[in-house]
Structure 1
C-alpha cells in the first residue's frame, strides 16, 4: 500500500520556507512573522516531522569541512543491477545524493571528497567495480551558487 502524507496548506509551506533558511529558527519568530500562535507553529512542525514530510538536519559546507572536491557523476547500469548499485552506493560516506534518472544515465550521484586524487580512486577503484556499472561521466562542481535540500 502506498504511504500517505498529510495534506499541506499555505501555512505549512510558509513554515517550511522559514526553516529552509534557518532550521533552528525559534517557533516564536516564525509565529510572529506569520501572525499565528507559537503553539500553532509548534504543532505544525511536530506533525510535519512525525509524518516524515520534514526533517531538520545540519548541512555542512563541504569546502569548509575539508571536502573541497564536489562532483556529479552520471552512471550507466547494465541489466537488472540498478538496485544492487544503489544499495552499494548508499553505504559510501562520500556519496551525498543518489537519483534514478531518464536520459543518458541510469543514476546521477553527488559526491564530496577531500581531493581530486580521492575522487579518481573512487571512480576507478570503487564505482567501476560495482556490479552492472558499465560507464560513468564525472563533472566537477567548480562553484556552488545555490544549494537547497
Structure 2
C-alpha cells in the first residue's frame, strides 16, 4: 500500500474520491479498472474512508423539484446555556436543511426550505419562536441559487489551496 503523504489520504485514495465525486454510485469495478487495482482494494479503501468519516455518500434532493419553493437563510440568536437544547429542537424540524453553529452576529445559521412564503411565515412566527432559548432571528429569502457544491478536491500534503 502506498504511504499516505498528507496524514489522511494517499494518491490512490484521492483518485478513488475523484471518481466518486463524479458519480457517488460508480461501481467499484469501474474505479478499479480505471486505476488498475483489484475491486477488493477499492471496496476496502472506500469502506475505510466511510468509517473514518472522510467520505459520505448521500443523495442530494433539489427542494424546488419536490415542492419546497421558498428557501431562506435564517440567522438565530440564543441564550448561551441553551445551545444543545435549541440544536436538538431544530434537528427535529423537517423544514431545516442545514444548521451551523457560528461565531459572529448570529449563534446559528439555518437553511430552511418550505412550500411557500406563508409556510415560511408560520415557521418563523410560530415554530421558531416556540423553541425555548431562541431570542431572535433574521431572515433572508433566497431569490436564486447561483452556486451549490457538495464536493471539493482533497488536498495533498496539507495543501489547502486545493480545497475549493
TM-score class, shorter: 0.7 to 0.9
The secondary structure found in structure 2 opposite 1:63 is helix
TM-score w.r.t. the length of structure 1 is: 0.85
TM-score w.r.t. the length of structure 2 is: 0.78
**What is the number of residues matched between the two proteins?**
144
Query: Could you list the runs of 4 or more consecutive aligned residues of structure 1 that deviate by over 3 angstroms after TM superposition?
Result: 32-37
Q: Taking structure 1 as reference, are residues 14 and 139 closer, same or farther at Cα in structure 2, changes over 3 Å only?
A: farther
Rg (Cα) greater in structure? 2
- 1:14 is matched with which residue? 15
Q: 1:52 offset after TM fit, Å?
A: 3.3
Q: CA RMSD in A?
A: 1.9
Q: 1:69 offset after TM fit, Å?
A: 1.4
- 1:147 is matched with which residue? 149
Structure 1 stretches lacking a partner, 5+ long: 1-5
The secondary structure found in structure 2 opposite 1:110 is strand
- 2:100 is matched with which residue? 99
The secondary structure found in structure 2 opposite 1:17 is helix
Deviations 1:10-48 (A, max 9, x none): 322332232233211121232344343332211111112
Deviations 1:30-79 (A, max 9, x none): 23443433322111111122333322221111111111212111101123
- 2:87 is matched with which residue? 86
Inter-partner Cα distance in structure 2 for 1:40 and 1:93: 38
